[in-house]
Amino acid sequence: MDSFTATAARMPTVERRITEAPGTFRMLTGERPTGPLHLGHYFGSIRERVRLQELGVETFVILADYQVITDRDTAANVVRHVREAILDYLAAGLDPQRTTIFTHSAVPSLHQLFVPFLSLVSEAELHRNPTVKAEHAASGRALSALLLTYPVHQAADILFCKGNLVPVGKDNLPHVELTRTIARRFNHRYGPLFPEPEAFVTDTPEIPGLDGRKMSKSYGNAIALGMTEDETAAVIRRTRTDSDRHITYDPEYRPGIAGLLSTAALCSGSTAEMVAKEVGDAGSGALKQLTTDAVNAFLAPHRARRRELATDPSVVSAVLRNGSARANDIADATLREVRSAMGMAYPTD
């Protein structure tokens, strides 16, 4: 059994524990602010965060700005991406009163945890991380020390607040596994301090982009939540289809059509097969129109809230100010505990 299957098998139990005692969980998750959030993020994670928040789980969302430079040279546009992401979070229903939203660069003590954590893992373990390997290969450049070690950095993102529930996609499972290892080794070496966080995966299948590959900004196959209706129509129009007017759901041989069908299905609460039947022999032009209408109708309330929030720049700054104040209080307290556990609490006056 691979680790995704094993984690997925634990989900019903975790779900039951969450419903029974939401207050015993602290959720920490987040993303790299590398571009606009899209439908894949919405169905794969944002919707789930809002659900956990509503269940009464204490929720933290990190915008991992230092993680932007793991596999690229520049953090250009990061401020804009952070701002846009926060607009999407709020429009989707994350409530900054209940969810702490922050960038990790604004929380110095969090990064200080990185140092003792680095001492708890070996270089060989870091080289074995399959996600790091894939990201290194895709980057086409030398393996930077940050790319090699960012999973340890991510353990600090999670453990600074003693997060014990970490919603992630498949790619990030090895990082949660490493976080559990680090927590265990720290506790063993210095005394019990950290929980071993549970990865939380959803059964939403990977969201296909418009070409049938995983929806990703870098593939140019994504529908950003903040696009206008016309921009949405334009990306959908560009999808590569074929000339067979009979529409069928065939991810292997008709990936573009399958991507459109899945997108329309998710946005209208239907299945790809049912949408295919509905379009019948009307051809890919009709499918594109139907998909555009489904996406625009689904996102209309989100986009209206987003536009409204965007009119007042102080909304985003207040979220960041309050989120980072709260994250700093928690990180400072954890760092004090860590240093004291390690015998590094110095008299300072």
- Contact between 193 and 338 under an 8 Å Cβ cutoff? The reply is yes
> 166 or 224: whose CB is closer to ligand TRP?
166
> 166 or 210: whose CB is closer to ligand TRP?
166
258 binds ligand TRP (CB under 6 A): no
Which two tokens mark 119?
């001492």
- Helices (DSSP H) in the chain: which residue ranges? 3-20, 39-41, 47-55, 78-92, 108-118, 123-128, 130-139, 145-159, 173-190, 229-237, 255-268, 272-279, 283-310, 314-341
The CB-nearest residue to ligand TRP is 64
> 32 or 136: whose CB is closer to ligand TRP?
32
Q: Please list, in sequence order, all residues whose beta carbon lies within 8 angstroms of the beta carbon of residue 320, skipping any fewer than 6 positions away.
A: 82, 86, 101, 102, 103, 106
120 binds ligand TRP (CB under 6 A): no
Q: 162-179 as b/e, with b when 16 or more CB fall inside 10 Å? A: bbbbbbbbeebbbbbbbb
Figure out which of the listed residues 18, 27, 30, 182 binds ligand TRP, where binding follows CB under 6 A: 30
Figure out which of the listed residues 28, 68, 182, 260 binds ligand TRP, where binding follows CB under 6 A: 28
- Region near ligand TRP per CB under 6 A, out of 13-21, 153-161, 321-329, 340-348: 153-161
- DSSP, collapsed to helix, strand or coil, labels residue 207 as coil
Number of CB atoms found within 10 A of residue 243's CB: 6
> 196 or 293: whose CB is closer to ligand TRP?
196
Binding mask 35-74 for ligand TRP (x = CB under 6 A): ---------------------------x-x--x-------
136 binds ligand TRP (CB under 6 A): no
Site residues (CB under 6 A) for ligand TRP, limited to 154-213: 154, 157-158, 166, 168, 172
Figure out which of the listed residues 26, 31, 37, 223 binds ligand TRP, where binding follows CB under 6 A: 31
Q: Which residues of the chain form contacts with ligand TRP (CB under 6 A)?
A: 28-32, 62, 64, 67, 154, 157-158, 166, 168, 172
